């Protein structure tokens, strides 16, 4: 989901920044251009980690800025369909839950939570299975699988997740399932020496 990517770009240094350290100014410009945005083929750019700018720039007619070639390292978030991850429930609604997935909130639709009829308690902001009694609320940590990704150029993106498959769901539910499957230890013989 998270990737460190190296890109090449051209950074404009305006006259007001002449005399300042080139690396710092280039880093500021690239952060303004990339951070918090969704870029084609990169995904959601979380931050510009580092930059190396060519100290020799070029001038263009009727433009006071200098333009420098730069290589930058970007920390990017690009969720992919079928990836499994964990995140915290940050909001409960009548149609599902929103889970923090990296810098985005993914939708866990009510139909994708569990194989049970789910009721919504608006007063307590809880989703609860009718038969199982399992509850999902804000602050719970869930393991999910990504089923849909729509990242559009700019600052918006949508991610859809499911927890309806084995070993997915609220971490507490997964532990309970594993405990039920674990072999039971045989009872020790009552007294040593007895047959």
Q: pLDDT digits over 126-140, tens only?
A: 999 999 999 999 999
Examine the domain organization and report whether 6 and 69 are in the same domain. Answer: yes
Examine the domain organization and report whether 167 and 93 are in the same domain. Answer: yes
**What integer pLDDT is reported at residue 52 of this predicted model?**
95
Examine the domain organization and report whether 20 and 96 are in the same domain. Answer: no
Residue 57 lies in a domain: yes
Which of 29, 54, 77 represents a domain boundary (last residue)? 77
Examine the domain organization and report whether 58 and 95 are in the same domain. Answer: no
> What residues of the chain score a pLDDT lower than 70?
153-155, 185-195
Task: Compute the residue count for the chain.
Answer: 195
Measured CA to CA, the distance from residue 33 to residue 21 in angstroms comes to 19
**What integer pLDDT is reported at residue 40 of this predicted model?**
82
**What integer pLDDT is reported at residue 42 of this predicted model?**
87
Which of 77, 110, 142 represents a domain boundary (last residue)? 77
**What integer pLDDT is reported at residue 107 of this predicted model?**
95
**What integer pLDDT is reported at residue 182 of this predicted model?**
77
- Total tally of structural domains belonging to the chain: 2
Examine the domain organization and report whether 67 and 102 are in the same domain. Answer: no
Supply the pTM of this predicted model.
0.75
Q: Which CATH number characterizes residue 142's domain?
A: 2.40.50.140
Range of the domain at 139: 84-181
Examine the domain organization and report whether 140 and 166 are in the same domain. Answer: yes
**Could you tell me how far CA 86 lies from the centroid of its own chain?**
9
**What integer pLDDT is reported at residue 151 of this predicted model?**
82
Examine the domain organization and report whether 141 and 123 are in the same domain. Answer: yes
Which of 48, 77, 106 represents a domain boundary (last residue)? 77
**What integer pLDDT is reported at residue 153 of this predicted model?**
67
**Residue 132: other Cβ atoms inside 10 A:** 13
| Closest by Cα among 170, 1, 2, 143 to 86 | 143
Examine the domain organization and report whether 68 and 141 are in the same domain. Answer: no
């Amino acid at each position: 989901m998270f990737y460190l990517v190296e890109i090449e770009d051209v950074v404009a240094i305006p006259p007001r920044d002449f005399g300042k350290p080139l690396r710092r100014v280039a880093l500021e410009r690239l952060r303004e251009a990339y951070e918090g945005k969704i870029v084609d083929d990169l995904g959601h750019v979380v931050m510009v980690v580092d930059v190396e700018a060519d100290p020799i720039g070029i001038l263009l007619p009727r433009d006071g800025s200098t333009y420098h070639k730069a290589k930058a390292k970007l920390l990017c978030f690009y969720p992919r369909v079928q990836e499994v991850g964990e995140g915290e429930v940050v909001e409960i609604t009548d149609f599902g839950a929103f889970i923090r997935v990296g810098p985005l909130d993914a939708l866990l639709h009510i139909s994708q939570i569990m194989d049970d009829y789910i009721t919504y308690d608006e007063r307590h902001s809880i989703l609860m299975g009718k038969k199982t009694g399992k509850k999902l609320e804000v602050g719970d940590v869930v393991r999910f699988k990504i089923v849909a990704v729509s990242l559009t150029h700019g600052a918006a993106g949508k991610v859809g997740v499911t927890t309806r498959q084995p070993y997915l769901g609220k971490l507490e539910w997964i532990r309970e399932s594993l405990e039920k499957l674990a072999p039971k230890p045989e009872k020790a013989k009552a007294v040593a020496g007895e047959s």
